[in-house]
Structure 1
Amino acid sequence: MTDIILHHYALSPFAEKVRIGLGLKQAAWKSVDIPNVMPKPDLMPLTGGYRKTPVMQIGADIYCDTQLIMLELDRRLPSPAFQPKGREGEARAITMWADRLIFSPAVGVVMSQVADKFGEAFKKDRSEFSGRLFDPERMRAALPFVRDQTYALLSLAETMLADGRTFLLGGEPSLADCALYNPVWFIRQHLGPAAAPLDRLPKIATWMEHMGVLGHGKRADIEASDALEIAKAATPGKTSVDGSDPSGLKAGQKLSVTPDDTGKVPVAGTLVGLAADRISLARHDERVGDVVVHFPRAGFIVQAL
């Protein structure tokens, strides 16, 4: 298989979701360190404008959003599986719950207490990214609310672990664990393991110890320029369009794909792949040649151009 390349930065919580997944699979992968704010001049040629972190590259195939990155890793590296047999839907449903409901208040718990540490460039970037002003005073005022929401949501996971199971779905780690790991990891990284509301969740504390043992797999650092050359020398893999898809989209259509929550930068291209879990656009850039950019369906807005 062509090398897995992860474009990320160290304190990205969603990148940690992928890194711990690579650890679960004990996978070899290449790391490209990217800026945590725009501009990202060596990432945009690959993604066509998508600015969120992380992005996974395999040759000339570019995977955006951890929903799809994790599914693609599971497809290419099937053992050990991210999704226990017969419980695939459950694993993905818990993942969406963690990504969409827990992540935001958990980040709020952190940012409400560390926002003053960031410079003006970061504040400006995150204002543009989120669509609202990065206001440390407003964040501090929201701490009681986001802390309570995080506690309420994590308490559901605490209940899942209360029967003595090691991981969320039983004795082995899964996609669901990787998803829950990232917001809890983010709080611990910035505020410590005893920070509220983690101090009231002993089962999650033990679960984090088991998750931490997984590590990050076999990492090798490369330069961004190397990753661009790899893309330019490669040919995208085969894709197909489901002609009976309820969207009515057809192969060869010119489309844009845009996240529906934050980082709402549309990526334009030609439809070359469509399935229930993904949509794929072919595009060309002078620095990387022909690439295919893949997105998950859930959480993205598709528009005809």
Structure 2
Amino acid sequence: MTTASPIILHHFEKSPFSEKVRVVFGLKNIEWTSVLISRIMPRPDLMPLTGGYRRTPVMQVGADIYCDTQCIIRELERRFPEPTLFPNGYEGLASATAMWTDRSLFQNTVNLVFGSLADQVPQDLIADREKLRGAKFDVPAMTAAIPQMRDQFRAHVQWIEAQLADGRTWMSGDKASLCDVNAYMNIWYVRAHLPNADEMLAEFGNTRTWEARLRAVGHGRSSEISASAALDIAAGARPQTAELSDPNDPNGRKPGDRVEVMPDDYGKIKVSGEIVALSSQHIAIRSRDPRSGEVVVHFPRAGFLVLPA
């Protein structure tokens, strides 16, 4: 399937959440455009697109902007339905695994990685992550907690190993699914940063074979443009999101309502706008900036707060 506007991913190479989307590009053999951004703020050409949302990655299709990997991957599945990320009726469970992999397992992995790197962590990265978290990014405390983090990481990986124990190729059976993509992100992150990753994964033979299989998938077919060029693409486009109501919205929200949307865990920057479309799983709001013009910014519902403006 082709699109009138390119699929643009704003990301940085060592971002584990970006790796998740890059693997989806590989599984679906998608042609996409890469915009490499700084791993710390400021990102002056990206903020006009997102209304201030600053977590990585962000996907852009013309003047439609998709935030959070839940939302990005759902949109990629809609645009490129084959091969599906939800084989054999796994849509609910595969989507729900993100609440495990992106929160509990990821926090465990972050503490393990940064605690192990210790004084190698740049001060500007620490300062940036403290702003992102709204709390102290305490590397010495992470270092002190390494024994506990190793215990917990091992417990998480054992769940992956158990799922693969019957010799299946993928966590959902004989076809790769979002379950695999979500779980792989954290294994990739440890492998990318810790020289003792082989030792940590030594007892998990099925997981290591599965990890190698996912790594071999690759990242699809990409080309690169600048952040300013991507901003120009948005400014020259019009959002393609159709108005969509949700008659079952438990709070009676509807298109045209002004709201503020933000994550409920960290990076709690409110993005303001008028609702264009909403459902149980997504909300899209209209935002305006002098540099980008009118854009529609898309968010998931799980893990996000929607507040009256």
Q: CA deviation at 1:118?
A: 2.3
Name the residue aligned to 1:128.
Answer: 131
Q: 1:28–1:219: 8 Å Cα contact kept in structure 2?
A: yes
Q: 1:31–1:219: 8 Å Cα contact kept in structure 2?
A: yes
Distance in 2 between the 1:193 and 1:266 partners? Answer: 39
Name the residue aligned to 1:252.
Answer: 256
When residues 192 and 203 of structure 1 are mapped into structure 2, their CA distance, relative to the original with a 3 A threshold, is farther
When residues 135 and 109 of structure 1 are mapped into structure 2, their CA distance, relative to the original with a 3 A threshold, is same
Range that drifts further, 43-52 or 120-129? 120-129
2:61 matches 1:43: no
**What is the aligned counterpart of 1:285 among 286, 289, 309?**
289
When residues 196 and 60 of structure 1 are mapped into structure 2, their CA distance, relative to the original with a 3 A threshold, is same
2:308 matches 1:304: yes
**What is the aligned counterpart of 1:74 among 67, 77, 100?**
77
Distance in 1 between the 2:151 and 2:282 partners? Answer: 34
Which residue type is aligned with residue 229 of structure 2?
Answer: D
2:161 matches 1:158: yes
Q: 1:187–1:195: 8 Å Cα contact kept in structure 2?
A: no
Distance in 2 between the 1:51 and 1:199 partners? Answer: 36
Distance in 1 between the 2:144 and 2:153 partners? Answer: 16
Q: 2:67–2:299: 8 Å Cα contact kept in structure 1?
A: yes
Residues 274-305 of structure 1, C-alpha deviation per residue, up to 9 Å, x if partnerless?
11110111011111111000000000011001
Give the structure-1-normalised TM-score. Answer: 0.97
Q: CA deviation at 1:85?
A: 4.1
3-state SS of paired residue (1:162) = coil
The number of residue pairs the alignment matches comes to: 305
2:120 matches 1:117: yes
Q: CA deviation at 1:189?
A: 0.5
Residues 150-183 of structure 1, C-alpha deviation per residue, up to 9 Å, x if partnerless?
1111111110000000110011111111111111
Q: 2:244–2:276: 8 Å Cα contact kept in structure 1?
A: yes
Name the residue aligned to 1:31.
Answer: 34
Name the residue aligned to 2:7.
Answer: 4
Q: CA deviation at 1:253?
A: 1.0
2:266 matches 1:262: yes
Q: 2:114–2:121: 8 Å Cα contact kept in structure 1?
A: no
Which residue type is aligned with residue 268 of structure 2?
Answer: K
Q: CA deviation at 1:199?
A: 2.5
Which residue type is aligned with residue 292 of structure 1?
Answer: V
2:198 matches 1:218: no
Give the structure-2-normalised TM-score. Answer: 0.96
Name the residue aligned to 2:110.
Answer: 107
Range that drifts further, 10-19 or 227-236? 227-236
Q: 1:27–1:218: 8 Å Cα contact kept in structure 2?
A: yes
Distance in 2 between the 1:122 and 1:34 partners? Answer: 14
Residues 221-265 of structure 1, C-alpha deviation per residue, up to 9 Å, x if partnerless?
101111111111111112312133112112211110010111111
Residues 54-77 of structure 1, C-alpha deviation per residue, up to 9 Å, x if partnerless?
000011000000011001000000
Which residue type is aligned with residue 278 of structure 2?
Answer: L
Residues 201-236 of structure 1, C-alpha deviation per residue, up to 9 Å, x if partnerless?
221111011101110000101011111111111111
Distance in 2 between the 1:286 and 1:40 partners? Answer: 16
Distance in 1 between the 2:24 and 2:129 partners? Answer: 26
Name the residue aligned to 1:234.
Answer: 237
Name the residue aligned to 2:204.
Answer: 201
When residues 34 and 285 of structure 1 are mapped into structure 2, their CA distance, relative to the original with a 3 A threshold, is same
Q: CA deviation at 1:193?
A: 6.6
Distance in 2 between the 1:252 and 1:95 partners? Answer: 30
Q: Which runs of 5+ in 1 are unaligned?
A: none
Distance in 2 between the 1:94 and 1:134 partners? Answer: 26
Q: Which runs of 5+ in 2 are unaligned?
A: none
Q: 1:102–1:154: 8 Å Cα contact kept in structure 2?
A: no
Which residue type is aligned with residue 165 of structure 1?
Answer: R
Name the residue aligned to 2:55.
Answer: 52
